[in-house]
Structure 1
């Protein structure tokens, strides 16, 4: 199991299986990441991986429509498109 810390939700910590979708973890564990569509269309689940960016999968084409290169370099991802493979801390 990996640890996910939701910084913007009073540093709430939860456990999740390896290779979990970040938005689904947030929904299941009441992490609080905002969202509307959950499918990469709206961009409302934009969040910042504060620690553990190296534990996320590759950036998807849908994310590139909402995030520029500078944002991606700063650790921003779309939670609905991001799968996690190790401990992370996320804010929004």
Structure 2
């Protein structure tokens, strides 16, 4: 690693703009659990849809949409930046909101 993309920042906007740093390619829900970010969840495996959240900034820093997400979210949801945290891996800084 050259250091420039070794870590990224996740801002949990709904949780008082709590900011945490994470390694590149981190899973959004796992980082929320580890750092007490606050994204709600029940299963963590893409089955329940509870961890639906919106990438308010940095949606371009998320990986491709997974088939499990398509069972819970519509194309319109994706266009607005909604993702399932358990299925989302990060490549750069993001700001995330939920429970809107």
TM over 0.5: yes
Match of 1:32 in 2: 38
Q: Does 1:22 align with 2:33?
A: no
Aligned residues: 92
Largest Rg, 1 or 2: 2
Q: Does 1:76 align with 2:76?
A: no
- How far residue 36 of structure 1 moved from its aligned partner, in angstroms, is 0.1
Match of 1:61 in 2: 67
Match of 1:85 in 2: 91
Question: The residue matched to 1:80 in structure 2 has which SS?
Answer: helix
Root-mean-square deviation (Å): 0.2
Question: The residue matched to 1:47 in structure 2 has which SS?
Answer: strand
TM-score (norm 1): 1.00
Where does the alignment leave 5 or more consecutive residues of structure 1 unmatched? Answer: none
**In structure 2, C-alpha distance between the alignment counterparts of 1:48 and 1:27, rounded to whole Å:** 17
Question: The residue matched to 1:89 in structure 2 has which SS?
Answer: strand
**In structure 1, C-alpha distance between the alignment counterparts of 2:83 and 2:47, rounded to whole Å:** 13
Task: Kindly provide the CA deviation profile for residues 29-55 of structure 1, in whole angstroms up to 9, marking residues without a partner as x.
Answer: 000000000000000000000000000
